[in-house]
Amino acid sequence: MITLLVGTNRPQSRARQLADFYATLLAELGATYQLLDLTELPIDFLNVALYHNAGQHPDFNRFIAPLDQSDKLVIFAPEYNCSIPGALKVFIDALPYPGGIRGKQAALVSLSSGSQGGGLALSHLTDILFYLGTSVLPQRVRLPFIGKHLTPAGELTSELYRQLLREQAEALLAA
């Protein structure tokens, strides 16, 4: 099972649109997947699911329970201020440690409005995942100028971007 993790809590995000596109790729490749969207995080998890309360927030525990069914992840991380969204970082910090995503294989997709495609965000996220014992697929996909290649309806218009995502999905399935 593959978990598609939408790495922002921004409603109607481009990251979610890309996750939906990726889901169609996985379906075409015959893979099973599930979606975990940070817009569905419990509203109070920041205050009551961290530090001495780790593992004690029933709604957060239910939210992350599907991760136990996955051995692979695809994380969609938009670039926010040259890094990953704060919601993604605090989500990772609230996961059980050790555990949570330790031992899983992760594919990373970053997107940005600028020319770098979230390269710094990918670098930060990769370092965090390595520390947690998560393997990162070498095919990290960066999608610069995403606004020019993703319609408001979520259609990915760049053939190159579609190809990069498909190749990554195939590599993840082969890993």
Domains identified in the chain, total number: 1
- pLDDT number for residue 127: 96
How far is the C-alpha of 175 from the C-alpha of 169, rounded, in Å? 10
- pLDDT number for residue 16: 97
The CATH number of the domain holding residue 6 is 3.40.50.360
34: amino acid identity, one letter: Q
- pLDDT number for residue 7: 96
Residues of the domain holding 117 = 2-174
Q: Record the tokens describing residue 89, joined without a space.
A: 């970082």
From first to last of its 175 residues, the chain has per-residue pLDDT tens of 999 999 999 999 999 999 999 999 999 999 999 999 999 998 887 777 666 667 677 888 899 999 999 999 999 999 999 999 999 999 999 898 887 899 999 999 999 999 999 999 999 999 999 999 999 999 999 999 999 999 999 999 999 999 999 999 999 999 8
